């Protein structure tokens, strides 16, 4: 008799506005790697660690809020690149704070080398950590940090 496999625990990767344009938009700041490639790399790394990585992108604040709320019920961790909403969205901040799913804030660029309005984050105070400035590798570093946290503190 075949045994049923337990589904892999999920890590959700949520990409905010304009990240669908990666590889085309301001490549001097964001690099040439596109979102599909980043998602593929994360999926492979997650699978190797025993997790299913679910990636989503939206240009709409409310949709990102909905996904964060859903992730609290379905995922064991979140990687979130809120993009411009990082600096403006109390709603996204409150959605993160409303649950107990650890969240890592991610940015491709070093926000502190950019315009002053990008230096502040509504999300960072309610996130496990922030990874910024490593290009596409920011996501991989954030995933490894989240996995390390989960292996120490969660029963996944």
Percent residues over pLDDT 70 in the chain: 96
What are the tens digits of pLDDT across the range 127-144? 999 999 999 999 999 999
Name, in order, each residue with C-beta under 8 angstroms of 140's C-beta and a sequence gap of 6 or more: 41, 42, 45
Distance CA 138, CA 148 (A): 15
Question: What is the structure's pLDDT at 29?
Answer: 79
Domain assignment present for residue 1? The answer is no
Q: Is 11 helix (H, G, I), strand (E, B) or coil?
A: strand
Q: What are phi and psi of 99, to 5 degrees?
A: -125, 180
Q: Which domain holds residue 101?
A: 10-153
Question: What is the structure's pLDDT at 147?
Answer: 98
When pLDDT is cut at 50, 70 and 90, the band that residue 156 belongs to is very low
Name, in order, each residue with C-beta under 8 angstroms of 148's C-beta and a sequence gap of 6 or more: none
E strand or H helix that includes residue 78: strand 75-81
Report the CATH number at residue 89: 3.40.50.9100
Question: What is the structure's pLDDT at 3?
Answer: 54
| pLDDT, greater one: 110 or 98 | 98
Number of domains in the chain: 1
Percent residues over pLDDT 90 in the chain: 78
Q: 78 pairs with which residues across the strands?
A: 12, 103
Among residues 152, 95, 88, the alpha carbon closest in space to that of 127 is found at 95
Kindly list the catalytic residues: 30, 107
**Average pLDDT, integer, range 113-135:** 90
Contact 80, 17 (CB under 8 A): no
Domain assignment present for residue 67? The answer is yes
Domain assignment present for residue 5? The answer is no
Domain assignment present for residue 135? The answer is yes
Distance CA 76, CA 133 (A): 25
Question: What is the structure's pLDDT at 32?
Answer: 86
Q: What is the mean pLDDT of the chain?
A: 92
Q: 14 pairs with which residues across the strands?
A: 56, 80
What are the tens digits of pLDDT across the range 27-68? 787 888 899 999 999 999 999 999 999 999 999 999 999 999
């Amino acid at each position: 008799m075949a045994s049923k496999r337990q589904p892999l625990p999920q890590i959700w990767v949520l990409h905010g506005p304009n990240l669908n344009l990666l590889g085309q938009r301001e490549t001097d700041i964001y690099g040439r790697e596109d979102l599909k490639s980043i998602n593929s790399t994360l999926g492979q790394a997650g699978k190797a660690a025993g997790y299913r990585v679910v990636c989503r992108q939206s240009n709409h604040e409310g949709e990102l809020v909905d996904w964060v709320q859903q992730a609290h019920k379905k995922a064991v961790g979140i990687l979130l690149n809120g993009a411009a909403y990082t600096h403006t969205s109390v709603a996204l901040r409150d959605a993160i704070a409303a649950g107990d799913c650890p969240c890592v804030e991610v940015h491709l660029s070093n926000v502190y080398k950019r315009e002053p309005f990008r230096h502040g984050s509504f999300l960072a105070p309610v996130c496990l950590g922030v990874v910024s400035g490593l290009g596409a590798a920011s996501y991989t570093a954030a995933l490894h940090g989240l996995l390390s946290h989960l292996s120490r503190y969660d029963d996944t």
